[in-house]
A and B are shown apart, each in its own frame.
Chain A
Amino acid sequence: AQTVTQSQPEMSVQEAETVTLSCTYDTSESNYYLFWYKQPPSRQMILVIRQEAYKQQNATENRFSVNFQKAAKSFSLKISDSQLGDTAMYFCAFITKETSGSRLTFGEGTQLTVNP
C-alpha cells in the first residue's frame, strides 16, 4: 500500500520566522513525484512546490523549499519569512505512474497558523 504520513496535525509560527512541516511516505516504486499543496480556509487547493524523485537537487519556489531524503522517504517543506497569508492547511502528496495510474495520494494535512 502507498501511504503518506504527516505527523504534525497543527503547527504555529510567528510572522517572519521559519517553519518546517514534515512528511514521510511509503512506496515500493522508484518513479514518482512529490507535492505540497496549500488549502487556505474556504478556498481552493493550490500547488506550492513539486519534486521529481529522480532529481537529487531539492526544489525551491521563492520562500518555499523542500528537503527530500529519498532513502528515508522523507519530504519536508520549509517556509521562510512566514507571512500571514501562509495560514492554511498543507497537504503532502505523491503520485506514481506505474501501478496506481495518476491518482494523488494525500497525507492527513498539517494546519499551519502564522501569528502576527
Chain B
Amino acid sequence: DTGVSQDPRHKITKRGQNVTFRCDPISEHNRLYWYRQTLGQGPEFLTYFQNEAQLEKSRLLSDRFSAERPKGSFSTLEIQRTEQGDSAMYLCASSQDGLAGVLTQYFGPGTRLTVL
C-alpha cells in the first residue's frame, strides 16, 4: 500500500503530557499537510510543508504545537502540555506539484487523540 500512513492510530494521554504523531506521505509527494477534525465537523487546516520548508501555519497552531519535516519525507506533529481541548482527529494529507496545477490532497487514516 503506497497511501498516506499515520502512526499511532489512537492515542490516549493525560492532560499536561506531550504527544508526538508521525505521518508518512505518498512517496513522490512533495507537499504535506496537517489538519485537525473535531467530532461532526470538517477538517481545519493547521500547517503545510513544501519539501522540508514549513510554508504556512494556521492561527489554530498555538505555541504548544510544533511540526517538522526534517528531510522532506515524513513529518511529525508534537503537542506539548496537552489540554482536553486538544482531543480531536489529526489528519495528514499529501499532494504533488504538477503542471496541471490542481493540488489534489490525499489523506491518511488519522490519529485520534483523547486527552483525559
The interface of chain A, by Cβ under 8 A from chain B, is 4, 33, 35, 37, 43-47, 50, 52, 91, 93, 95, 97, 101-109
A94 to chain B, nearest CB (A): 11
- Bound Cα distance A46, B3 (Å): 11
- Bound Cα distance A45, B108 (Å): 7
- Bound Cα distance A52, B98 (Å): 14
- Bound Cα distance A43, B42 (Å): 14
Name the interface residues of B74-116: CB closer than 8 Å to any CB of A: 91, 93, 95, 101-110
A26 to chain B, nearest CB (A): 15
The verdict on B33 contacting chain A, using a C-beta distance below 8 Å, is: yes
The interface of chain B, by Cβ under 8 A from chain A, is 31, 33, 35, 40-45, 48, 55-56, 58, 91, 93, 95, 101-110
Contacts of A43 in B (CB 8 A): 109
- Is the CB–CB distance between B41 and A47 below 8 Å? no
- Bound Cα distance A93, B102 (Å): 13
- Is the CB–CB distance between B48 and A103 below 8 Å? yes
A84 to chain B, nearest CB (A): 22
Contacts of A91 in B (CB 8 A): 42-43
Max chain B C-beta neighbours (<10 A), residue from A44, A45, A52: A45
- Is the CB–CB distance between A102 and B42 below 8 Å? no
- Is the CB–CB distance between A44 and B42 below 8 Å? no
